[in-house]
Structure 1
Amino acid sequence: MDTKLLRQTFGKFPTGVTVVTWFDGVGINGITVNSFTSVSLEPALALVSIDKKANALSQMKNNAFTINILSDQQESIAWQFAGRKQEGLEITWIKDGIAPKIEDVCAFIECKPWKEVDAGDHVLFIGEILNFGRTNSEALTFFEGKMGSTKQFIQQ
């Protein structure tokens, strides 16, 4: 199977862009994730998929985490946590609760660990949702290898 072509096929499905964050014992850590989904309302569960090669994999184990759904004004934050240093970027953190939150996100979902599932070259982290919030801002969207606002992709 041609994995490059498979990745391009998956890219035809627009997704939101999230940064998953947690306290790592020393400070705050995080990773950009677009493999995120709701799982259940009762109990309230959400899932993020983390590549087994990512440093975040071992750091997230047994840690509470926040799924920060980025606004369309936060693309630089997405790139920062994807491993592309953004010179001059300052992130304002909200540190109350069980895991850190990024200020001015479109929405956030705070989770405590519920279950981890081995899934090929990824691990699925399922979290029990303890807190959440949302704003009226436009979400950052990932489509065909590019980030932008949903409106931007609709107008193309």
Structure 2
Amino acid sequence: MHLDPRELRNCLGHFASGITVVSCEVDGHPHGATVNAFSAVSLDPPLVLVSLDRRSKACEHLENRPFAVNVLGEQQDAVALHFAGKPTDEPIEWVRPADSAPYLRGSLARISCRPWRSYDGGDHVIHLGEVDSFALAEGDPLVFYLGAFRHLGKAFHAAPWLESLDCPTGQTRFVLA
């Protein structure tokens, strides 16, 4: 069966995702790339993944290097564009710790990782990182949906997961009669 890559990409675009900039140090300089293929993998050990097009510079740079995942806030669309190859006049402020990858100042969240494993993912490489530190800020994320940046709407009053029979704690507020 042949799938049209453009049509598949359009279909996959219906899945809303956050926007991150994955950063690392290359030849003594910070380097970053806008990535929306990011996911939590495990809490024990603490692992996350980023999936990068194997033809990209960022994919090559991440191999066996510490990296940071910078989750962008809703006001950071210019930062996302900058690291997607469309530089803007937006100033980029780096924090460069001695013991981990450089990261962006002002991100909604930052996850610093040591390289864990890399896997073949077709035209992408899946990089897993072991989280060694993280930081959070207040705000809403920048979201990518149907090829455009978006902002979140109004939040639900309760987390749907906590009302689910699949809640990982095995506790639920539902009582079966």
Query: Which range, TM-score by smaller chain?
Result: over 0.9
CA distance in 2, matches of 1:40, 1:57: 22
Aligned to 2:94: 93
Q: Which one-letter code corresponds to 1:90 in the other structure?
A: P
Instruction: Determine which structure has greater relative contact order: mean sequence separation of CA pairs < 8 Å that are 6+ residues apart, divided by chain length.
Output: 1
Structure (1 or 2) with the larger CA radius of gyration: 2
Alignment RMSD: 1.1
Q: Counterpart of 1:132 in structure 2: which amino acid?
A: F
| Offset of residue 92 of structure 1 | 1.2
CA contact (8 A) 1:51 1:122 kept: yes
Gaps (5+ residues) in structure 1? Answer: none
SS of equivalent residue, structure 1 residue 22: strand
Tell me the TM-score normalised to structure 2 length: 0.83
Identical-residue share of aligned pairs (%)? 36
How far the C-alpha of 1:101 sits from its partner, in A, is: 1.3
Corresponding residue for 1:67? 69
Aligned partner of 2:138 in structure 1 is 136
Question: Paired residues, what number?
Answer: 151
More strand by share: 1
Give the unaligned 5+ runs of structure 2.
155-177
Q: Which 4+ residue blocks in structure 1 deviate beyond 4 angstroms?
A: none
Output the CA distance in 2 between the equivalents of 1:24 and 1:151: 38
Instruction: Kindly indicate whether the alpha-carbon contact (under 8 Å) linking 1:75 and 1:148 is maintained by their aligned counterparts in 2.
Output: no
CA deviation profile, 1:66-124 (whole Å, cap 9, x unmatched):
000000111011111111121x2211111124011111111010000000001100000
Question: Residue type matched to 1:113 in 2?
Answer: P
How do 1:1-156 residues align onto structure 2 when only pairs under 5 Å count?
1-86=3-88, 88-96=89-97, 97-151=99-153
In 2: Cα distance, 1:31 partner to 1:91 partner: 13
The residue type equivalent to 2:4 in the other structure is D
Give the letter aligned to residue 73 of structure 1.
Q
* Aligned amino acid, residue 11 of structure 2: T
Shift of 1:149: 1.4
SS in 2 for 1:7: helix
Partners of 1:71 and 1:140 within 8 A in 2: yes
TM-superposed CA distance for 1:2, in Å, is: 1.0
